[in-house]
Amino acid sequence: MCSGVLNCEGMADRSAVLATHSGALFRYLCRAVGEAEAARDLTQEVFLRATRTPMPANGNGHVTAWLFRIARNLALDYHRGQRRHPPVEVLRDQVARSASQDVELAVNQALASLTDLDRDVFLMREVAGLGYEQIAAACELTPDAVRSRICRARLALREQLAAPIATSRGPAAQRSLNTKTRTDQ
């Protein structure tokens, strides 16, 4: 009676799996769509879709990839919707914006400048903590392609976020780097 979509035997497991991945999914979606509220809604949507489709039974890695594939598709749909119906720009008080908000904005803009695939591969690794194999399964790529895309995204973001990176690196690390460089010379 409970076969296919219903998959009764996996219901308890499924809830546990969703609970385990909820944090990583939310964090990934937060950066993928750039809005916490939308990320919350999309995470819920991932849960709903995951409960309506059969869960892969090939181990945790496959389940993780499956959930992130759903999340990625939802994020892409969200971006398509945003392109069709661009949100009305809200005028924000530029003076009142804090430094951390500036960094947030810069990070979101830098991420938006990447291709969809590079951005998603990077975020799945850096924000959600997936391994190359899992990312490859989620994005239908080879692990080698994931490796080079992550590297390319990092280099592009490093260039675009030079100022926040320099601030975040801190003076101690900067001094250490300068000292080491002088020693090398």
Complex with other proteins: residue 84 or 134, whichever CB lies closer: 134
Q: At residue 86, what is the residue type?
A: P
Count of residues in the chain: 185
157 near other proteins, judged by CB under 8 A:
yes
116 near other proteins, judged by CB under 8 A:
no
Shortest Å, Cβ 90 to other proteins: 18
Binding segment for other proteins (CB under 8 A), chosen from 62-70, 75-83, 85-93, 162-170, is 162-170
DSSP letters spanning the chain: ---TTS-GGGHHHHHHHHHHHHHHHHHHHHHHHS-HHHHHHHHHHHHHHHHHSPPP-S-HHHHHHHHHHHHHHHHHHHHHHHHHSPPPPPP--TTT--HHHHHHHHHHHHHHHS-HHHHHHHHHHHTT---HHHHHHHHT--HHHHHHHHHHHHHHHHHHTHHHHHHHHHHHHHHHHHHHHHHH-
User: Using CB under 8 A as the criterion, what x/- string covers residues 56-95 for binding other proteins?
Assistant: ----------------------------------------
Residues 14-53 contacting other proteins, CB under 8 A: 14-15, 18-19, 22-23, 26-27, 30-31, 36, 39-40, 43-44, 47-48, 51-52
Q: Interface with other proteins by CB under 8 A: which residues? A: 1-2, 5-8, 11, 14-15, 18-19, 22-23, 26-27, 30-31, 36, 39-40, 43-44, 47-48, 51-52, 100, 103-104, 107, 111, 123, 125-127, 131-132, 147-148, 150-151, 154-155, 157-158, 161, 164-166, 168-169, 173, 177, 180-181, 184
